[in-house]
Structure 1
């Protein structure tokens, strides 16, 4: 998928202006109002505040305890990292809620940016602006209590088991490349069919993308459990921050996401909230 990238000169100019305006000699954020730390053409919904939207409700691990203001959860933490890079303190961030469809519909927005696992697509770009991706989905093996895969902790543990995935997906590619089950991958027409096969014991484990894994084990499967991420399985959907089409903040927010990727912040936050031992460890 092709992403619309900012010209290098634009990114550098935005970054330079923010650094000069936002930082004092010791590197701390100055006392200037947040709006003064953005480029001249940038405007926020509420002057001096940054209004960020997410889902209602918002689920773990993207937002913990449906409380984005806590900064806990991957997307809540990303939102505050972007806000800080733009020069907004935590107290200057205002949270609001929207449905998924409201956020990507054409028209004016009551938020400065919105994040709730929006995949970047060309079709959606016709109605809204996207930042560069802050996360690219990986593939994850899941199972249920009582399955032979419930005690698996390595790829070798999964190899002799019955592992399934939906046909024509990157999940199926990942099964074949990373696990290569002894009996071959078990292929299903839909994830719903595969989920039922896992629940009734026809297969021992199922591979899906990470957001689907969190949803299935949290809401759909009895005794659902994440085994872990398959290594080198990036290449799925890319999540971007959503902004109003033609937003004066798009260049600033895009520069922030690029900078947070470059300095390793996004990877660290993903490891903390999405890749830890309590979430989805990488299998070896």
Structure 2
């Protein structure tokens, strides 16, 4: 009797196992079907995701948070806000500044926001949004330097600039100047502090922000030169992307979000003409 009883118990266990397996498969299939139906039945199409190129050492426009390692800055907040109101998601792709235009031309990225000045040469290679920030170039020297007081005193001097920028173009116009092009903005000021160069030519807000972070051994001298307007760059012919960006910038200006982001990073209200109106309309 004992062998038969054992055999009976074994058959019960096998039967229970088979039933459990069939029930599990049915549940999984039902769940998958339910999920598929729910997704297919969604009336709103999935938002497109645009890859955004930037060079993340250009504080306060784009840089990495020292604690979290996340990208942060004025440009980061702005492009995310544009995406929210214009209906697209953002995926950041960090690269060297001198490679951004090429990445756009080869369609390796969908757009770029990285303190990119709108100039005639770049407009031949890419398309730009309406301007979203007004900047300019300044000279920075060590605080104990009393001989260089502006651009006019840079003749024959050693100057550090970021490679591929309008700062580099401007510095190369200076007679006799020995221009050193470096990849990242912090490297410019390190070279200045170490005595490798006499001055740095760079964008005003970036230089000012660097000094505000406790680098009191650096000072800005002279006037602002070459007033510039930053724009969001897209590959030539990407009219749909460009239209979304421009509409997003206009919306942010109208609803006050642009002013909020601007004040967060620069501590003051933005110029009334930015963004959404061409520079010549400045009051």
What TM-score results when the alignment is normalised by the length of structure 1? 0.50
> Which structure: greater helix fraction?
2
> Which structure: greater strand fraction?
2
What TM-score results when the alignment is normalised by the length of structure 2? 0.50
